Structure 1
Amino acid sequence: MFKRAEETGAPALSFTFEGKPLKARSGDTIAAALLAADERIFRTTPVTETPRGPFCLMGVCFDCLVEIDGVPNRQACMVQVEEGMQVRRQSGSAEVIS
C-alpha cells in the first residue's frame, strides 16, 4: 500500500471513483489520490481487457487512462484532483473526441 510521506496541511478535496467517495489533498494528481486510496486498476486494455494501472507516473506510458467527468482518455497522473470530480475506470478504448 502506498503511504504519504508526511502531512502537509493541504486542504482536503472530495471526489468519486466508480461512484465511491474519496478524499485527496489539494495538489494531488488523480493517480496519487487513487493509489493512496489503495485503488490499483485504472483501466482495461482494448483487446484482452487486462487490468492496467499507473506505470511511469509522468505522462509517458498512458497506462493510467481514466474517464473524468464523462471525458475519456485522460491521464490520471497528469490531472490534479478538483472538488467534486467524478472519475471512472476506462474500459478498453474510447473514441477520441476532437
Structure 2
Amino acid sequence: MFKQLADPARRSFSVFIDGAEVSARDGETVAAVILRAPPHIARHTPVKETPRAPFCLMGVCFDCLATVDGETSVQTCLVEVQPGMKIERPVGKLRITL
C-alpha cells in the first residue's frame, strides 16, 4: 500500500484556472492542478465539444492542451506550475477567422 506523505518543504501557492484561484505546490504539473479543479477536465474538443482529461501525462497525446499565461496550445502535462499562473481551459467550437 502506498501512502502519500505531505512534504513540508514543498511551497504552496496560488494559480488561476478560468479565473478561479486554485492551490498548487512546487513540483506539480499544470495538468495535475487542472485535474483537481472542478469540473476536473482539461478541455473540450474543438468540433463536438466533448470533455477530455489528460490521458498520457507524458506529452504524447494532446488531451491536456490549454492556454497558459497567454500562450495557446500548451501541453500542460509538460509544464511545471508557477506562482500566479493564469490557465484557461479551451471551451467551445473551434472558430477560424480569415
TM-score range (shorter-chain normalised) is 0.7 to 0.9
Counterparts of 2:62 and 2:44 in 1: how far apart (Å)?
Answer: 12
Which TM-score applies when normalising by structure 2? 0.82
Structure 1-normalised TM-score? 0.82
Q: In structure 1, how many angstroms separate the alpha carbons of the residues matched to 2:94 and 2:27?
A: 28
Q: CA deviation at 1:88?
A: 0.7
Counterpart for residue 5 of structure 2: 6
The answer to whether residue 69 in structure 2 is matched with residue 69 in structure 1 is yes
The number of residue pairs the alignment matches comes to 92
What amino acid is the match of 1:74? Answer: V
List gaps (5 residues or longer) in structure 1. Answer: none
The percent identity for this pair of structures is: 43
Work out the CA distance in 2 between the residues paired with 1:75 and 1:87: 12
Distance in 1 (alpha carbons) for counterparts of 2:95 and 2:21 = 24
Deviation at 1:27, TM superposition (A): 0.8
Report the CA distance shift for 1:65/1:94 in structure 2 as closer, same or farther (over 3 A).
Answer: farther
More deviation, 27-36/52-61:
27-36
Asked if 2 retains the 8 angstrom alpha-carbon contact of 1:13 and 1:81, the reply is no
Letter in 1 for 2:11: P
SS of 1:90's equivalent in the other structure is: coil
2:27 alignment partner in structure 1: 27
Distance change >3 Å, CA 30–CA 94, structure 1 → 2: farther
Larger radius of gyration: 2
Check whether the contact 1:73–1:94 (CA below 8 A) recurs between aligned residues. Answer: no
CA RMSD of aligned residues (A): 2.0
Structure 2: segments with no counterpart, 5+ residues: none
